[in-house]
Amino acid sequence: MRLRPHSIRGRDTVLATIFAAVVLTLLATGSDLVVREHYKQQVSNRTRIAATQVTSAVRDGTLRSPIRQSVEGADYLQVIGPDRRVRDASAKAAGRPPLAPLFPPANSRVREATMCPAPGGGCMFVVAIRVTNAPDSPVALSASPLPGVLLGHHLEYFLAGLVIALTGLAALTTWQVVGRTLRPVEQIRAQLAEITGSDLSRRVPQPTGQDEIAQLARTANQTLERLEESVARQRQFASDAAHELRTPITGLRVNLEDLAMSPHDPELTTSATQAALAATDRLEAIVTDLLLLARLGTSTGTVVHQPVDLADLVSTELDARHPAALSAPDGRRPTVSTRVGADVVVDGVRVQLARLLNNLLDNAERHTTASIDVQVVRDEGDILLAVTDDGPGVPDADRERIFERFTRLDSARSRSSGGSGLGLAIARGIANSHGGSLTLDDHRPGARFVLRLPAHRHPGDDVEAG
């Protein structure tokens, strides 16, 4: 079973501790080797120098007895004769047997050894050098006591304690630093946990600076702001939908109650039935529009787009609407003019594009004074379809609001003449689902709605472009 900390703070602390322990152990091992080698080299050098000086003095005949110490630390000096007896010695080595059983042969003038225990206790580093290569040559011995750092494992114990202390300090520092760094994250998490669907106005604390945590807080607040706006729109939409559906339902109920109260009145039965059918038609229209909006908002990409000639579409839909459909609210029929260019083919769903065009025509019909203009032209790689009326126009502040669901700018207009408030929302949704856009352009007087869609690419277009 693997034991692994669940928190980032714990995992980082464990990793930092392991890393520090490994690095510090390697450094301590290297330091131990370097220190030991340094002291060994010092002892070896001074012992060799002292032995060499004694050898030279014996060879030159200038050696005095007792032998004087000429190198600090090399206190034990002896000259051993061929008979393995001490001939001369320094003050500290006088009266002692040979410092070490070292007697180099003629073919190897120098020998070294570490003697433990040495005379007087402790350990000594001993160097033996033959004075000459002659068989009866004496041997000079020089011995230096080893320093305490080379005796036992005191240095290793000290370095091990230092490694443990520094590793613990690294772990504690990492724990504190990571905890302080993640404190804003915990505050953000706690604040998000307290935010509920009933109150989306709260925001997470936002640290200063430009680091990742500050960016996370800003992104979280931006997401909460968008979520709050989305929920507000959904609630408004539900309220508007309920309000829109209540009117025809209420009318339908009144008509049914009239029928129930006077089931044998033919005139009342006829009028109530017609009114009930009208209310049912309105209910069906609103529900159909809502379902279409829902499908447009959750498109799964299974709809197949095919080439659609907008010139033919405009001609067909205008013929279907003429002459009864295109009539102003006061009964006058507006003049409809068309300007259609060549090669205005797009990829799309013909039924949906026809619905978009009819929604724009319905909107123009409700607001026009005398004329409606429909224009379809090619603009480089796009096709533009514009529907223009000469009505009162749209205030600048409402140019985007009119594309929202259940929006009516004229609150005094009756629902029968003012539409359901879903037409332009559906039109923009269809435009977006076709990779295009629907906007309201500047036009005085009246309003000009412009649909921009990517033009259909013919098989030879890519070859010609290349």
**75-104 mean pLDDT:** 86
* C-alpha distance from residue 61 to each of 56, 65, 131, 252 (Å): 8, 12, 11, 141
Contact status, residue 150 vs residue 40, Cβ threshold 8 Å: yes
* CB 46, CB 144: distance < 8 Å: yes
Beta carbons of 383 and 353 less than 8 angstroms apart: no
Q: How many CA atoms lie within 13 A of 230 on its CB side?
A: 7
Report the range out of 197-211, 226-240, 385-399 with the highest average pLDDT: 385-399
Q: What is the pLDDT of residues 426-456, one digit of tens each?
A: 899 899 989 999 999 888 788 999 999 999 8
d(CA 428, CA 426): 6
- Residue ranges and CATH numbers for the domains of the chain are 8-154 (3.30.450), 212-297 (1.10.287.130), 306-464 (3.30.565.10)
Residue 419 burial (CB < 10 Å; 0-12/13-18/19+)?
buried
Please give the average per-residue pLDDT across 377-387, as a whole number. 92
Helix and strand numbers, DSSP H then E, in the chain: 9, 12
- Give the model confidence (pLDDT) of 210-241 as tens digits: 888 888 888 888 888 888 887 877 777 777 67
Element (H, E) at 439: strand 437-441
Burial class of residue 212 in the structure, from the number of CB atoms within 10 Å of its CB (0-12 exposed, 13-18 middle, 19+ buried) = exposed
Q: What is the pLDDT of residue 2?
A: 54
Q: What is the DSSP letter of 102?
A: -
- Write down the mean pLDDT value for the chain: 83
128 and 104 Cβ atoms separated by less than 8 Å: yes
Structure pTM?
0.52
> What pLDDT, in 10s, does the model give residues 326-373?
555 555 678 889 999 888 999 998 988 998 999 999 888 888 888 999
Beta carbons within 10 angstroms of residue 70's beta carbon: 13
Residue 120 confidence class, pLDDT cut points 50, 70, 90:
low
